[in-house]
Amino acid sequence: MRRHSLQHDSEGRLHHLLTIEGLKRQQIVDILDTAESFISVGDRQVRKVPLLRGKTVVNLFFEASTRTLTTFELAAKRLSADVLKININTSATVKGESLLDMLHNLEAMQCDMFVVRHADSGAAHLIARHVAPHVSVINAGDGSHAHPTQALLDMFTIRRWKGEFAPLTVAIVGDIKHSRVARSLIHALTTLGVSALRVVAPKTLIPAAVESLGVHVVHDLDAGLRGADVVIMLRLQKERMQGAMLPSEAEYFSTYGLTEEKLALAKPDAIVMHPGPINRGVEIASSVADGAQSVILEQVSNGIAVRMAVMSMTLGRAPAEGEGA
Amino acid sequence: MNISIQHGRLIDPANGIDSHIDLHIANGVIAGVGQVPDGFSADSHINAGGHIVCPGLIDLRARLREPGGESRATIATETAAAASAGITTLVCPPDPSQPIDTPALVDLIRHRAKQSGHARVLPLGALTQGLAGQQLAEMATLKQAGCVAVSNGLQAVESTRVMRCAMEYAASQGLTVFLHAEDPWLAAGGCAHEGAVSVRLGLAGIPEAAETIAVARELQLIAQTGVRAHFCHLSSARAVRMLARAQYDGLPVSADVAAHQLYLTDMDIGYFDTQCHVRPPLRSQRDREGLREGLKQGTIAAVCSDHQPHGANAKLAPFPASEPGISGLETLLPLTLRLAGEGLLSLPEAIASITQRPAGILDLLAHGEGGTLATGARADVCIFDPEPYWELRADALQSAGHNSPFLGWELKGRVSCTLLAGELTYHTCD
């Protein structure tokens, strides 16, 4: 089994994007650079480039999503691909058709790319192992494992604001344990070499052995925010209250919620990020989410350019110098 | 039918024998070791030159799927696979689809095994009715029907009071309780050892404490009730240390380990290899070393296959949604022999861990019903060539389950003949 090179082809090029883990720093930089060349496409009169003309992209979402699904769809359309959306909740798996049977059916329809979201960790790897060799798989979120395009668009956003990664102190605050975004962010930020990476949460939301991923664990929000250049807040799911992981939303907000007062502990030019959708008054105060240091909406628009970059690169159609812009 | 097995190296740990002597079988029992017994004349000879002759293997834990799971495997297919792997006795635990809580189920399993004739199947009776952990199963009746011990399978007995009563009752009936040590709340939803691998892959973890807390509770109850207990497929080094302490204190407890736990760790999951999805989960390298040490010291008495045959689709799913388990019958002997090859155990010790010692746990030894080649014992015999290397391939597996993380491994040692009560159930020799 080609365990460690599943997302690369025999020449080391990115064929699938399943996880940030295992990507070289230069590969991440190349994706960010390519995304940079696409950023202006959205501002044009005709918001399209013909890179994926004739290609068919299937959005295979086994789990509800608005933002990610929409930006993938827009990204594919701006690359001139045909886009098919399959909402699995109401489709075949209900009828007992297995995941892989369904894939083979779709393959028979000459699809070129699957963008997959699934509630189970490892779903994208499973699919990538079983698709025809010409098909690329993009992981749009699998269980608590990975959400690589979200991490890449966050890197893109950070780079636009901060330039270099090396001097940065980054704090990721919230439910690290159940967050695929957190895991992908950790791999991306450690690969790009930030000087300090903190995860901030009560122990109930910190997974065992998380230090092995190269982060510092902090349980006190003040200590976690002090001197930070980048503050990334994670969404808190309501289920955590039932699971006895937290007493209440109110107590969570009072101890780990990002308010203006808390944000003042970070560097004055710190940026505030959030993968969305945000819970106002739970993990973040409205005044911070809508405040001057928030780049949350910019993350969303950057998501389109980054996904265009990933889609074109995995299908081997990266723009030549100057072609994107 | 009289058989002489000649020229082999006879290793019978129960009787302290390791020498090149012949074995003589008459009417399904051992008639003589070494010397030809008076008046014995062999109807057939088996030439075991260069091979090792030992008692038929006893596997303390094998799921056979019948009744209820015949689409995956049957008693006929799995006992045939067992015979090809030198196994003559299989212990079959209850599970929700075959809870083994009525004499009818016990009869059915024993009847099917007898019909197939490939291996003896010893059912473990249910500890609680329907394995629901609420009402005691009819243990005395199950014992009478042929259950060798009782167990609640993989289902937890959540109530400590019920577990205490079950142990007290089992002790009264002279039954050993087989335990799967897993705290149901800490293990809930988990599919991998909680540690560096589960955090990387975003897999819900099963902490070591899920095992140690259950072991701690059961040990307290064992001390109170005086029941004889056996811990199945331990997975953590800490549990082994707890057990060693309990044995030192004189508690009547034994344990086994699944062969795969002695070779694999959570690192082998790689990127979601579902063949490594097992329960209890593969743990850390330190745990694997602790299990090996426990086996060497004797804290862990036996190695089992923890056989769980699956159809192909069971593993073709995202890791958390895939079925746990390994088709392990056919790797039990080679993986155990490898422990001798690696110098952890001597060859007779390795063989004892799959013959004499499990027979002792099941109380078969004293009755000559397995694990020994003493004169008068039933002639359950395994003959294997210890030398050849062979690659484990899915299409060559006899079991209906081809799910194994050892596919592609080079294994050493191959069974040539298996005899069940003097009858050949498998042979590749003349």
Q: Where are the domains of chain A?
A: 3-146+303-314, 148-300
User: What is the pLDDT averaged over residues B337-361?
Assistant: 98
Record: contact B202-A209, CB cut-off 8 A: no
Interface of B with A in 44-63 (CB under 8 A): none
For the stretch A17-76, pLDDT in tens is: 999 999 999 999 999 999 999 998 777 777 789 999 999 999 999 888 888 999 999 999
Enter the tokens of residue A107: 């393959």
- What is the distance between the alpha carbons of residues B410 and A137, in angstroms, rounded to a whole number? 33
Please report, rounded to a whole number, the percentage of residues in chain B having pLDDT higher than 70.
100
Instruction: Give the fold, CATH level 3, of B2-53+378-395+408-427.
Output: Urease, subunit C; domain 1 (2.30.40)
- Fill in the amino acid letter for A302: N
Record: contact B272-A126, CB cut-off 8 A: yes
Enter the tokens of residue A188: 């991306």
pLDDT at residue A243 tops 70: yes
Record: contact B317-A99, CB cut-off 8 A: yes
Instruction: Please answer whether residues B399 and B81 qualify as being in contact, where contact means their C-beta atoms are separated by less than 8 angstroms.
Output: yes
- Model confidence at A238, pLDDT cuts 50, 70, 90, reads confident
> Which phi and psi (to 5°) does residue B382 adopt?
-120, 130
The residue whose two tokens read 């701690």 is B216
pLDDT at residue A322 tops 60: no
ipTM: 0.92
- Model confidence at B67, pLDDT cuts 50, 70, 90, reads confident
Instruction: Please answer whether residues A152 and A20 qualify as being in contact, where contact means their C-beta atoms are separated by less than 8 angstroms.
Output: yes
Helix pair angle (A148-162, A180-192), 10° resolution: 50
The residue among B280, B250, B276 whose CA lies nearest residue B184 is B280
Enter the tokens of residue A292: 């001057």
- What is the distance between the alpha carbons of residues A16 and A158, in angstroms, rounded to a whole number? 24
Which site among A23, A116, A121 would you substitute to test the B interface, given the most B Cβ atoms closer than 10 Å to its Cβ? A121
Strand order in the sheet with A196-200: A216-218, A196-200, A169-173, A230-233, A271-273
Question: What Cα–Cα distance (Å) separates residue B422 from each residue in B5, B10, B46, B388?
Answer: 11, 16, 12, 26
**E strand or H helix that includes residue A191:** helix A180-192
Give A143's contacts in chain B (Cβ within 8 Å): 202-203, 318, 320
pLDDT score recorded for residue A86:
82
Record: contact B318-A123, CB cut-off 8 A: yes
The residue among A45, A30, A48, A91 whose CA lies nearest residue A306 is A30
Record: contact A210-B316, CB cut-off 8 A: no
pLDDT at residue A321 tops 80: no
For the stretch B114-136, pLDDT in tens is: 999 999 999 999 999 999 999 99
- According to DSSP, the residues that pair with A146 across neighbouring strands are A142
pLDDT score recorded for residue A94:
46
pLDDT score recorded for residue A315:
92
> Which phi and psi (to 5°) does residue B390 adopt?
-150, 155
How many Cβ atoms from other residues are within 10 Å of residue A91's Cβ? Answer: 13
Phi-psi region of B370 (alpha: psi -120 to 50; beta: other; left: phi over 0): left
The residue among B231, B211, B209 whose CA lies nearest residue B300 is B231
Evaluate whether the domain defined by A148-300 bears CATH number 3.40.50.1370: yes
Lowest mean pLDDT among A173-187, A218-232, A240-254, B201-215: A240-254
The DSSP string of A41-70 is GGGSSS----TTTT-EEEEEESS--SHHHH
Alpha helix positions (H), B191-308: 196-201, 208-225, 237-248, 285-297
User: How near does any CA of chain A get to the CA of B402, in Å?
Assistant: 16
The DSSP string of A130-152 is HS-TT-EEEEEEETTTB-HHHHH
Domains A3-146+303-314 and A148-300 share a fold: yes
pLDDT at residue B106 tops 80: yes
Burial class (CB in 10 A: 0-12, 13-18, 19+), A261: exposed
pLDDT score recorded for residue A97:
58
Give A118's contacts in chain B (Cβ within 8 Å): 318
- What is the distance between the alpha carbons of residues B25 and B5, in angstroms, rounded to a whole number? 8
pLDDT score recorded for residue A12:
86
Q: Does B202 touch chain A (CB under 8 A)?
A: yes
Q: Does B367 touch chain A (CB under 8 A)?
A: no
User: What is the average pLDDT value for chain B, to the nearest integer?
Assistant: 97
- According to DSSP, the residues that pair with A34 across neighbouring strands are none
Lowest mean pLDDT among A21-25, A165-169, B312-316, B378-382: B312-316
- What is the distance between the alpha carbons of residues A117 and B91, in angstroms, rounded to a whole number? 42
Give B319's contacts in chain A (Cβ within 8 Å): 120-122, 126
Those residues of chain A whose CB sits closer than 8 Å to some CB in chain B are 1, 3-4, 6, 21, 98-100, 118, 120-123, 125-126, 130, 142-146, 180, 183, 207-210, 212-213
pLDDT score recorded for residue A11:
85
Catalytic status, residue B306: yes
Nearest residue in chain B measured CA to CA from A19? B201
Evaluate whether the domain defined by A3-146+303-314 bears CATH number 3.40.50.1370: yes
Instruction: Please answer whether residues A6 and A131 qualify as being in contact, where contact means their C-beta atoms are separated by less than 8 angstroms.
Output: no
How many Cβ atoms from other residues are within 10 Å of residue A196's Cβ? Answer: 15
CATH 2.30.40.10 domain range(s) in chain B:
2-53+378-395+408-427
Enter the tokens of residue A202: 């009560």
Please report, rounded to a whole number, the percentage of residues in chain A having pLDDT higher than 90.
75
CATH 3.20.20.140 domain range(s) in chain B:
56-367
Which site among B198, B199, B404 would you substitute to test the A interface, given the most A Cβ atoms closer than 10 Å to its Cβ? B199
For the stretch A293-310, pLDDT in tens is: 999 999 999 999 999 999
Q: What is the architecture of the domain spanning B56-367?
A: Alpha-Beta Barrel (3.20)
Nearest residue in chain A measured CA to CA from B207? A208
Interface of B with A in 306-345 (CB under 8 A): 313, 316-321
